[in-house]
Amino acid sequence: MAQKQHTRRSSAAPSSERGEQAMIEGILEGSPDAVGVAVVRLDCGCRKMAAISPSGDPASKIIMYRDNAQSICDQCKDDHGDFRRVVKQFISWKKPEPDQATMALISAKVLGC
Ligand SMILES: [Zn+2]
């Protein structure tokens, strides 16, 4: 497989946040009906993401990625990002955001809280 170098640099923002935002935008582009993207950050630095439909169901397959890496880490390959290693999870809403009640409903369904 061809090796691709990603060496774009900027001092504007931490690269991990920028990478995450780029992934979110890419997922939304691929799932035009989605209302947002569920983001799960794991303690190892890898992330799980999936587009969310207006009814709170997955609107894409779950994507796992790791910043500045060709693949996710060995631990994630092993446990697929076990729930116990989640450090943060949230939904990045697509603009315009749904109303508060809808957001709360979808959050409860997707994140269980
Ligand atoms: Zn990992």
Per-domain residue ranges of the chain: 15-111
Cα–Cα–Cα angle for 68, 58, 107, nearest 5°? 90
Predicted confidence at residue 17, as pLDDT, reads 80
Q: Report whether pLDDT(113) > 80.
A: no
Residue 72 alpha carbon to ligand 1 centre in Å: 5
Residue 76 alpha carbon to ligand 1 centre in Å: 4
Residue 70 alpha carbon to ligand 1 centre in Å: 12
Residue 75 alpha carbon to ligand 1 centre in Å: 5
Distance, in Å, from the CA atom of 81 to the CA atom of 65, rounded to the nearest integer, reads: 10
Predicted confidence at residue 16, as pLDDT, reads 78
Q: Report whether pLDDT(103) > 60.
A: yes
